[in-house]
A and B are shown apart, each in its own frame.
Chain A
Amino acid sequence: MTITSAGPTTPLVPAAPPAAPQEPADTVTFTIDGIETSVPQGTLVIRAAEELGIQIPRFCDHPLLAPAGACRQCLVEVWAPGRDGNPAKMPKPQASCTLEATPGMDVRTQHTSAEADKAQHGVMELLLINHPLDCPVCDKGGECPLQNQAMSNGRATSRFVDVKRTFPKPISISTQILLDRERCVLCQRCTRFSEEIAGDAFIDLQKRGAQQQIGTFDTQVLGYVGDAPVGESTEDVSGKPFASYFSGNTVQICPVGALTSAAYRFRSRPFDLVSTPGISEHDSNGSAIRVDHRRGVVLRRLAGDDPAVNREWISDKDRFAFTWQSAPDRLTTPLVRRPGADGSRGELEPASWVEALGAAAAGLRAAESVGVLAGGRLTLEDAYAYGKLARVALGTNDVDGRARPHSDEEEAFLAHHVAGRTLEVTFADLDRAPAVLLVGLEPEEEAGVLFLRLRAAALHHGTRVLSVAALATRGLTRLNGTLLAAAPGTEAEVLDGIVDGADDELGSAAEMLAADGAVVLVGERLAGVPGGFSAVLRLAARSGARLAWVPRRAGERGAVEAGLLPTLLPGGRPVADDAARAELAAAWRVDELPAVPGRSTSQIVAAARDGSLGALVVGGVDPADLPDPALARDALDRVGFLVSLEVRPSEVTERADVVLPVAPPVEKPGTFVTWEGRPRPFPQALVSHALPDHRVLDRLAAELGVDLGLATVNDVHAELDRVGGWSGARVAAPDVEAAEPPAVAPGTAVLATWHQLLDAGRLQQGEPHLAGTAKRPTARVSAATAAAAGVADGDLLAVSTDAGTVTIPVAVSDMPDHVVWLPTNAPGSAVRDTLHADSGTLVRIASAGTTSTITTLGEA
């Protein structure tokens, strides 16, 4: 695959073109330290100096935050033309972080002005008088802007012999974020980030003068004691101290060691760390990260700087949820199930690769037919290998990468609109979009950085955000968004209602979406709504808005491009298209490819259960994520032969006949493809013996007598370039009728559900500090629905199906009646596993008492 340059053919996933040079704006010519420079109008002097390589010391200044001018470290001497045209010196030194360059200005920094130099030394001395000299034990020591700039722009010795201000240390402003107030220089980067970028103003300045400090809101006033809510706050889902999904960014931008994370505090010294660039594996944004490791252990992750994608921000999940990759239960050797002497199935036992691959190949050969299930977190290279294994070595199209609710309509949508159409909608388009319609997508929960980009677009570019959903979340509120309320299952109906001339909010939505540059972002959850994708395509065609699919997991888009679907081959080639199959067969140097369209994930599970499939190869799938986990477990139990590729033991490995361990992202190079279709290659961070999936599959195929030719990542890339894109006919757009919404009988409601960013997900295990910042699992119903069910705000609500019951506190919300919302996979609310249900399912709701009674029972 060509990631950096275009080859002779169109690459399968072409790299993004370099950013277009910005339109030449009006420029301003002025001098800094005698060097003449021209910058766009409105440029701050401190930025212009950076461009010239002149470093002006600073603390509060951050290029992505609004200027504050609070720390006064960046003072420079400024001369500007007066009324008579002659340069006149401004009487006071100016803060270069708030000063816009004007024509003819003459700026003199510390390098050429004694006044600027003295001013900077003076401010630095004042910053240090109350700063503790605890650099030897401070996390920031070694990478600290205060430390560095005290050396470059400070006095060698201190004149301060008086009493320093001290605070008790540290205070925890959430389970993850700790604050050492005496180290704080009050630059307000953290509070400005929280207010301007994340919209989570849970921290703010408090008190004044030398006692000024960063703090959380008054716990007494808000009903908190320590970190625990009391009284009316008990059921509040939003107001935990600094319960922000983006809080970790404040640690990274803190220019001193005042904000630290519980996970990293006192763990290492920056100069002992080796840094490797990486890509977050947690969502489909492909956020750039920096993996910092020491002696083979990852100690922390930081946000990378990528203006095209995540700017300099990542979600807390991207930052803190990495310990799963080095969990103590990691699979380190292949396992083979050796039948017991008594004829039982026997136990899994460690085996050599030779034995394990041999056993796996033998089992697969013995099975008449094999299905392949792959999870949504694979790299492009690995996804490609699963698809090729199925089609070349196993001779089947029974392969599906969708470990989640899915539909044939969705597959047609992906084949018609998504596969092979990369970078048609990008993050940058959101900035320019007059309106963005979200369908089946909750950006803050399902794509954190997308939320931040949308918020910036909404606040700074006036982008109007619309959301077709069951309720307006706090996230939508912070996007200044408009809810187009839709009970689950009626999304298609609402989408079809967005037509010109409709006299309600749908009419104005149609007007907004008709504007040039409007975008529709549709989430993977729409697969659960019959007719949903058909309606979205109709809307896009009708309005002219561009349409992009934003799946939740990092590997979903790559899987589509790699052809990890039963009716789709790599590059968007339809299985049903003879020419497409022939082209790919030629590229793969095989005679022919299976022409029969394959089974989808649910069909593969069903076929494995009833014996029509004799064996399964499963990689990175958790049965609890599948539409019906009980059915999936049953199928895994019953299937004749099961090969599992996994990083850690799972419900699949424990049922498998052969387990082949594979490398987590940090131990292999690879490529995630973002929802935009942007390839995001990342290098291997840690030295490891673990093998990536494509290499394991290559060796498995070799045992089966087939040379996949995918042994190394370079082999895969070369082949992806050779295969290239598809220019033939695309699959026709789906046209599925919307289903009639179910009749809601008394005592029942329609279920609405989506994943929260922080929940019981497997990739968040081993990070209790992060888990502590998750939202409290809470059900939501409207006031009328609550009254009908006999529950009050804060009571426990029992949501049941024939399969089971979820009982969690309820928050009465502004949302359609006869709908109940649950977090999909929060602790205590495993919707698919417990209820075997999903959005649109009819569930029973009933009061289950109050939380206090449960607490009492628990204590008793």
Chain B
Amino acid sequence: MGTTLTPVLSDRWDAEQSWKLSTYEQGGGYRGLRRALGMQAADVVTMVKDSGLRGRGGAGFPTGMKWGFLPAPDGGPRYLVVNADESEPGTCKDIPLMLASPQDLIEGVIITSYAIGCHHAFVYVRGEVVHVYRRLLAAVAEARAAGYVGTDILGSGFDLEITVHAGAGAYICGEETALLDSLEGLRGQPRLKPPFPAVAGLYARPTVVNNVESIASVPGILRGGADWFKQMGTERSTGHGLFSLSGHVTRPGQYEAPLGITLRELLDMAGGVREGHELKFWTPGGSSTPIFTAEHLDVPLDYESVGAAGSMLGTRALQIFDETTSVVRAVTRWTEFYKHESCGKCTPCREGTFWLAQVLQRIERGQGTPQDIDLLLDLCDNILGRAFCALGDGATSPITSAVKYFREEFEAGCHTPADVLFPPERSALFDYRPRSGAALAGVHA
């Protein structure tokens, strides 16, 4: 047991007025930018490539390599778009980051823009989080007043505008091409690829789309160097990452640690599972990553190990569920989310989530049929890999993994309502009396 926390992004979250530019500068902020502006842009890209930084938005694509996909400059504009549309159930890392220390992101945006030759960057922030939107606007204004944004930044001759754009509340707009359409003022639905955003993205110009945490990690790499970054994490999953523990855990919250830490280590730091209870299942990276159980407590939380164990590192949103939780109920809620958020563009996702939700609701009510579990699995098979974008795939992961580990609970749904097997008030962390409703046919109906 040697892994310890590595607060980099979260280092100053406890400072007085941590979101202020002055606080950020006192902690060494904008040193990374000064160093970057003294380098050739291509060297900045190389440095980030050398650091091994991989996309923190879930897919884990090497960030520097993504920047390298941009075609050679042709004199026209190129764009950086930061994906701050954090909407995945369980995922809660970017919003606290932007709230507590927005300048990490702003500095990262400026460095990245310099590296890729972008003079107008966009931050697409989820519309519901108005407080974060306001804080970002204020952060950009502060940075502009200090000469970090605008023309001739720090006397380098480099110009940059940053536009913070609030979305209108659609999970699909976290998909990068749907995000671009939405940013252009169109209906947010995924685009056909190719062309990829690196070739024809925002306004059909070369565009880099990166997650908030990826971009916010860049200033640290510039300050500390690629080798400093690579000291953390594993060989192929380098660096630090925010691990968001939520649910039945004693001290939920953000734990910034090197990639490759295990849930057992994180739970130790978080005071363990809720007092008197034991771990039943958990998500390694948000609701669209296949669930894990207690047998996976020692899986190193890096891209390769989680993948090898049958799930995805995703956004490191570790939702902890103890033995009082009905997996059927949890999966049904997630599926209802995907049904609600399906953009409607393609058949498998639009119609499939509509159907899955109804079958799961039936099982949750204890009115499932013996064929329903096979039907669920077959429907998932007909959606997985058939949908236009990854949202459809993500909708099937919790179902197939839950049936894999807890098939008997689904079978019980043929005769017993989920709220009879697992009274919801026992899962609650506070005094909770379920509302009676037509949705439940059991003791609470």
- Chain A residues engaging chain B, CB cutoff 8 angstroms: 67-73, 75, 91-93, 98, 118-119, 122-123, 125-127, 129-130, 159-160, 162-163, 165, 185-186, 204-205, 207-212
Cα separation A176 to B344 with both chains bound (whole Å): 27
Residue pair B353, A127 in contact (C-beta under 8 Å): no
Residue pair A209, B343 in contact (C-beta under 8 Å): yes
Q: Is B153 an interface residue (CB 8 A)?
A: no
Q: Which of A71, A122, A207, A208 contacts B382 (CB 8 A)?
A: A122
Q: What 0/1 pattern do residues 358 to 394 of B give for CB contact below 8 A with A?
A: 1100100000000100010011011101111000000
Residue pair A208, B344 in contact (C-beta under 8 Å): yes
Q: Which of A72, A73, A185 contacts B387 (CB 8 A)?
A: A72
Q: Is B348 an interface residue (CB 8 A)?
A: yes
Quote the shortest CB–CB distance from A195 to chain B (angstroms): 11
Cα separation A212 to B343 with both chains bound (whole Å): 8
CB contacts (< 8 Å) of B381 on chain A: these are 118, 122
* Residue ID in chain B nearest A121 by CB atoms: B382
Which 5 pairs between the two chains have the least Cβ-Cβ distance?
A122-B382, A212-B344, A92-B385, A126-B351, A162-B358
Cα separation A449 to B383 with both chains bound (whole Å): 41
Q: Which of B170, B189, B342, B378 contacts A210 (CB 8 A)?
A: B342
Cα separation A791 to B288 with both chains bound (whole Å): 62
* Residue ID in chain B nearest A98 by CB atoms: B192
Tell whether A185 pairs with B347 under 8 Å between CB atoms, given A208-B170, A208-B342: yes
Residue pair A186, B355 in contact (C-beta under 8 Å): no
Residue pair A69, B339 in contact (C-beta under 8 Å): no
CB contacts (< 8 Å) of B351 on chain A: these are 126-127, 129-130, 210
| 18 CB < 8 A contacts A-B | A68-B192, A69-B346, A70-B346, A71-B347, A75-B386, A119-B386, A122-B378, A126-B382, A129-B355, A159-B371, A162-B359, A186-B345, A208-B341, A208-B344, A210-B339, A210-B350, A210-B353, A212-B343
Residue pair A212, B375 in contact (C-beta under 8 Å): no
CB contacts (< 8 Å) of B347 on chain A: these are 70-73, 123, 126-127, 185-186
Q: Is B34 an interface residue (CB 8 A)?
A: no
Residue pair B346, A71 in contact (C-beta under 8 Å): yes
Q: Is B340 an interface residue (CB 8 A)?
A: yes
Cα separation A211 to B354 with both chains bound (whole Å): 10
Q: Which of A119, A162, A205, A212 contacts B355 (CB 8 A)?
A: A162
Q: Is B187 an interface residue (CB 8 A)?
A: yes
CB contacts (< 8 Å) of B354 on chain A: these are 129-130, 165, 209-210
CB contacts (< 8 Å) of B346 on chain A: these are 69-72
Q: Which of B172, B187, B192, B378 contacts A204 (CB 8 A)?
A: B187
* Residue ID in chain B nearest A127 by CB atoms: B347
Q: What 0/1 pattern do residues 378 to 417 of B give for CB contact below 8 A with A?
A: 1101110111100000000000000000000000000000
CB contacts (< 8 Å) of A71 on chain B: these are 346-347
Q: Is B102 an interface residue (CB 8 A)?
A: no
Residue pair A162, B353 in contact (C-beta under 8 Å): no
Cα separation A186 to B187 with both chains bound (whole Å): 15
Tell whether A209 pairs with B339 under 8 Å between CB atoms, given A72-B346, A160-B355: yes
* Residue ID in chain B nearest A204 by CB atoms: B187
Residue pair A207, B344 in contact (C-beta under 8 Å): yes
Q: Is B352 an interface residue (CB 8 A)?
A: yes
Residue pair A209, B341 in contact (C-beta under 8 Å): yes
Residue pair B362, A162 in contact (C-beta under 8 Å): yes
Q: Which of B170, B341, B343, B382 contacts A125 (CB 8 A)?
A: B382
- Chain B residues engaging chain A, CB cutoff 8 angstroms: 170, 172, 187, 189, 192, 339-348, 350-355, 358-359, 362, 371, 375, 378-379, 381-383, 385-388
CB contacts (< 8 Å) of B340 on chain A: these are 209
Quote the shortest CB–CB distance from B428 to chain A (angstroms): 29
Tell whether A123 pairs with B348 under 8 Å between CB atoms, given A208-B343, A209-B354: yes
CB contacts (< 8 Å) of B170 on chain A: these are 208
Quote the shortest CB–CB distance from A739 to chain B (angstroms): 49
Quote the shortest CB–CB distance from B422 to chain A (angstroms): 24
Quote the shortest CB–CB distance from B364 to chain A (angstroms): 13
* Residue ID in chain B nearest A92 by CB atoms: B385
* Residue ID in chain B nearest A91 by CB atoms: B385
Quote the shortest CB–CB distance from B338 to chain A (angstroms): 9
Residue pair A205, B385 in contact (C-beta under 8 Å): no
Cα separation A162 to B353 with both chains bound (whole Å): 13
Residue pair A126, B348 in contact (C-beta under 8 Å): yes
CB contacts (< 8 Å) of A118 on chain B: these are 381-382
Sample of 5 more A-B contacts, CB < 8 Å, known A72-B386, A210-B342: A129-B354, A130-B351, A130-B354, A159-B371, A205-B189
Cα separation A159 to B352 with both chains bound (whole Å): 13
Cα separation A71 to B350 with both chains bound (whole Å): 10
Which interface residue of B344, B353, B358 has the most chain A CB atoms within 10 A? B344
Cα separation A75 to B382 with both chains bound (whole Å): 11
CB contacts (< 8 Å) of B345 on chain A: these are 70, 186, 212
Q: Which of A129, A204, A209 contacts B342 (CB 8 A)?
A: A209
* Residue ID in chain A nearest B359 by CB atoms: A162
Residue pair B388, A69 in contact (C-beta under 8 Å): yes
Cα separation A159 to B355 with both chains bound (whole Å): 10
CB contacts (< 8 Å) of A91 on chain B: these are 385
* Residue ID in chain B nearest A211 by CB atoms: B344
Which interface residue of A72, A123, A130, A186 has the most chain B CB atoms within 10 A? A72
Cα separation A75 to B386 with both chains bound (whole Å): 8
Residue pair A122, B386 in contact (C-beta under 8 Å): yes
Cα separation A123 to B355 with both chains bound (whole Å): 12
Cα separation A163 to B189 with both chains bound (whole Å): 26
Cα separation A7 to B355 with both chains bound (whole Å): 66
Cα separation A588 to B256 with both chains bound (whole Å): 99
Which interface residue of B189, B343, B347, B348 has the most chain A CB atoms within 10 A? B347
Residue pair A123, B382 in contact (C-beta under 8 Å): yes
Residue pair A209, B350 in contact (C-beta under 8 Å): yes
* Residue ID in chain B nearest A115 by CB atoms: B385
Q: Which of B192, B353, B379, B385 contacts A93 (CB 8 A)?
A: B385
* Residue ID in chain B nearest A186 by CB atoms: B344
CB contacts (< 8 Å) of A75 on chain B: these are 386
Residue pair B375, A159 in contact (C-beta under 8 Å): yes
* Residue ID in chain B nearest A206 by CB atoms: B187
* Residue ID in chain A nearest B170 by CB atoms: A208
Quote the shortest CB–CB distance from B279 to chain A (angstroms): 32
Quote the shortest CB–CB distance from B118 to chain A (angstroms): 28
Cα separation A204 to B382 with both chains bound (whole Å): 28
Residue pair A70, B353 in contact (C-beta under 8 Å): no
Cα separation A162 to B187 with both chains bound (whole Å): 30
Which interface residue of A163, A205, A210, A211 has the most chain B CB atoms within 10 A? A210
Cα separation A71 to B388 with both chains bound (whole Å): 9
CB contacts (< 8 Å) of A204 on chain B: these are 187
Which interface residue of A73, A92, A123 has the most chain B CB atoms within 10 A? A123
Cα separation A100 to B60 with both chains bound (whole Å): 28
* Residue ID in chain A nearest B361 by CB atoms: A162
* Residue ID in chain A nearest B343 by CB atoms: A208
Cα separation A220 to B218 with both chains bound (whole Å): 47
CB contacts (< 8 Å) of B192 on chain A: these are 67-69, 98
Cα separation A68 to B189 with both chains bound (whole Å): 11
Tell whether A70 pairs with B388 under 8 Å between CB atoms, given A126-B351, A205-B187, A210-B354: yes
Which interface residue of A93, A119, A159 has the most chain B CB atoms within 10 A? A159
Cα separation A205 to B181 with both chains bound (whole Å): 14
Residue pair B348, A122 in contact (C-beta under 8 Å): yes
Residue pair B348, A209 in contact (C-beta under 8 Å): no
Cα separation A122 to B386 with both chains bound (whole Å): 9
CB contacts (< 8 Å) of A98 on chain B: these are 192
Quote the shortest CB–CB distance from A162 to chain B (angstroms): 4
Q: Which of B343, B350, B382, B386 contacts A92 (CB 8 A)?
A: B386
* Residue ID in chain B nearest A71 by CB atoms: B347
Cα separation A572 to B348 with both chains bound (whole Å): 62
CB contacts (< 8 Å) of A210 on chain B: these are 339, 342, 344, 350-351, 353-354
Quote the shortest CB–CB distance from B381 to chain A (angstroms): 7
CB contacts (< 8 Å) of A123 on chain B: these are 347-348, 382, 386
Quote the shortest CB–CB distance from B256 to chain A (angstroms): 33
Residue pair A186, B385 in contact (C-beta under 8 Å): no
CB contacts (< 8 Å) of B375 on chain A: these are 159
